[in-house]
Copies of this chain bind each other. A is one copy, B any other.
Amino acid sequence: MSNRQPTLDEVAERAGVSRGTVSRVINDRHHVSAKARLAVQSAIAELGYVPSMAARSLASQRRGAVVLAISSDDPALFANLFFAEVIAGVNAVIEETDLQLLLVLAASERGRSRLARILQSRGADGVMLLALRENDPLAKVAEAGGVPVVHGGRPLDGTPRWYVDADNRGGARQAVEHLVATGRSRIATVTGPQDLNAGVSRYLGYREAMALAGLSDHRVAHADFTEAGGAAATSRLLDEHPDLDAVFVASDAMAAGALGVLRERGRTVPGDVAVVGFNDVRAAQHTRPALTTVRQPIIALGREMTRMLVRLIDGEEPTPLILPTELVVREST
| A141, CB-defined interface residue at 8 Å | no
Copies of this subunit: 2
| A38, CB-defined interface residue at 8 Å | no
Say which one of A11-19, A113-121, A212-220 lies at the interface with B. A113-121
| A30, CB-defined interface residue at 8 Å | no
Please name 21 pairs of A and B residues whose Cβ atoms are closer than 8 Å in the assembled complex, sorted by A: A2-B146, A5-B121, A5-B122, A50-B120, A51-B121, A52-B121, A53-B118, A54-B54, A54-B57, A65-B102, A73-B91, A75-B88, A75-B92, A75-B299, A78-B87, A79-B81, A79-B85, A80-B84, A83-B84, A95-B111, A101-B102
Least Cβ–Cβ distance between A138 and chain B, in angstroms: 15
| A153, CB-defined interface residue at 8 Å | no
> B102, A100: Cβ atoms under 8 Å?
yes
- A5 neighbours in B (Cβ, 8 Å): 120-122
> A54, B50: Cβ atoms under 8 Å?
no
If A95-B110, A95-B114, A256-B286 touch, does A121 touch B88 (CB 8 Å cutoff)? no
Q: Which of A220-271 contact B (CB under 8 A)?
A: 227, 256
| A123, CB-defined interface residue at 8 Å | yes
Of listed A48, A98, A105, A146, residue having the most chain B CB within 10 A: A105
- A75 neighbours in B (Cβ, 8 Å): 85, 88-89, 92, 299
> A103, B105: Cβ atoms under 8 Å?
no
Least Cβ–Cβ distance between A67 and chain B, in angstroms: 9
Q: Which of A107-144 contact B (CB under 8 A)?
A: 110-111, 114, 117-118, 120-123
Determine the distance from Cα of A92 to Cα of B104 in the docked complex, in whole angstroms: 10
Determine the distance from Cα of A104 to Cα of B88 in the docked complex, in whole angstroms: 10
- A114 neighbours in B (Cβ, 8 Å): 95
Least Cβ–Cβ distance between A116 and chain B, in angstroms: 8
